[in-house]
Amino acid sequence: DIQMTQSPSSLSASVGDRVTFTCRASQSISNYLNWYQQKPGKAPKLLIYAASSLQSGVPSRFSGSGSGTDFTLTIGSLQPEDFATYYCQQCYSAPWTFGQGTKVEI
């Protein structure tokens, strides 16, 4: 199985900050990488697919990059509604696997 490792596991930030966190795959997955946002008590929401494509309706302050084994998610200017947990997920080969998440806290 492909293992997905996210770092950091949590980070503290302030409104307006630019934040970046990473996801690393245990083998090359090309750009078969999606990012999801999850708020407490809610289902995850798709933000980025194919490593860098913004899902419809998602604010442009979110961006993704990377290919192969290393990927990043950047929030250009953190907003109050962005405090949540972010998960990466590979869809290169089944079983599809998620990272352990990065929690963005105030």
Q: What's the closest the beta carbon of residue 14 comes to other proteins, in angstroms?
A: 25
Please name every residue paired with 89 in a beta bridge, in sequence order, or none if there are none. 34, 98
Of the candidate spans 17-25, 35-43, 61-69, 71-79, the one that interacts with other proteins by CB under 8 A turns out to be 35-43
Report if residue 62 touches other proteins, rule: CB under 8 A.
no
Residue 82, SS3 per DSSP: helix
Report if residue 69 touches other proteins, rule: CB under 8 A.
no
88, exposed or middle or buried, with CB in 10 Å at 0-12, 13-18, 19+?
buried
Q: What's the closest the beta carbon of residue 19 comes to other proteins, in angstroms?
A: 19
Report if residue 63 touches other proteins, rule: CB under 8 A.
no
Residue 71, SS3 per DSSP: strand
Residue 30, SS3 per DSSP: coil
Contact 2, 93 (CB under 8 A): yes
Binding positions for other proteins, rule: CB under 8 A: 1, 31-32, 34, 36, 38, 43-46, 49-50, 55, 87, 89, 91, 94-101
